[in-house]
A = this chain, B = another copy of it.
Amino acid sequence: MVSIKDIAKKAGVSISTVSYALNGSSKVTEETSSRILAIAQEMNYIPNAAARTLKKRESKILGVFLTDFKGDVYGDLLDGMKETANSQGYDLIVCSGKQSHRMLPERMIDGAVILDHTFTSEELLEYAARSHKIVVLDRELKHKNINQVLLDNKAGATLATEYLIERGHKKIYIVTGPAGSFDSIQRMKAVKQIQDRVHDIEWIEIEGNFKKSGGEKAADQIIQQYTEPAAVFCLNDEMAIGLCDRIADTSLVIGEHIHLIGFDNIELTRYMQPRLATIDYSKRKWGALAAEQLIKLISGEPVENERIYVSLVKGDSVGKGAHSFTPYV
């Protein structure tokens, strides 16, 4: 491995001169600088990241932490993050799993974006207390080293629920996320506000898990209880897909007997028959904003918590209900 020491020897200068030349400092003459650069090139010199990180106390790397690599939500989110990070001179790495948490406290990365419930909030606060910079996408956390970029869950859940009501449905199932999930809790809050306001509707809550299996289990219950058309708000698309799968095995038809809306507008929903109604938001923007906030945090700029806006995507998975002649306004 060739180091600046080797270059210095070959060029007949000191290592500090080499370092300056390599870093484009104006302290060395154009002449020596270009001579050193040429030698470095010739010797196939490549700097050592660990040494640089150790000395400079920064790696210029941002880490994103995901619960797993499977989620369909992530593609655009990560691309948005990468683009922003790269444009500001940072590299982005994606990590998953308990083992990888160490990257942050061990200072392998300069900051972290969290979309991963395997981090407890206490853990994150601990890192923040050690002055590590963090952007959370999946919870609320107040600390000067932590910034939030959250979905407008409440607006989304309100849009979805009101859409079902507007379409004349009077029996509405809500399939929730797993118990502790922030997104699920937020979305449920919005649903409950509507429940308090609108009284002529039968509400049935089913605990889900944000995974396909949760939708399948919910479907089983709904099928078993089926007496008349009903609407279902799955708090994410993946469960809606699981639910569809299971319904497809019966004589019930989505959009006719079961009226379904999801949340996330993942790619797959576009290919469902009928098209799944859902809540959309720009995943790319979400990622870009998260990276931007993190970099600001790192450079000590002041940051405000941010919010990602959502919109309703209509779809034939929600048909007209028996009571659509008395629309809710």
Contact = CB atoms under 8 A, between A and B. Distances in A.
B94 A69 contact: yes
Nearest to A68: B79
A107 interface: yes
A49 B79 contact: no
In the complex, the count of this chain's copies comes to: 2
Contacts of A95: 91-94
B99 A86 contact: yes
Contacts of A82: 69, 96-97
Nearest to A94: B94
A207 to B, nearest CB: 25
B50 A107 contact: yes
Contacts of A44: 130
A63 B93 CA distance: 9
Q: Does more than half of chain A's interface fall in helix, strand or loop, or is it mixed?
A: mixed
Interface stretch (A169-177, A221-229, A265-273, A305-313): A265-273
A272 B108 CA distance: 43
A28 interface: no
B105 A46 contact: yes
Interface string A120-155: 000000000010000000000000000000000000
Contacts of A47: 106
A51 interface: yes
Interface in A100-116: 100, 102-103, 105-108
A75 interface: yes
Contacts of A94: 69, 93-95
Nearest to A131: B1
Nearest to A83: B97
Nearest 5 CB-CB pairs, A to B? A70-B75, A69-B78, A49-B106, A94-B94, A50-B53
Given A44-B130, A50-B59, A69-B82, 13 more contacts: A46-B106, A49-B50, A50-B51, A50-B107, A54-B54, A63-B93, A69-B78, A70-B79, A86-B99, A91-B95, A91-B103, A92-B95, A92-B100
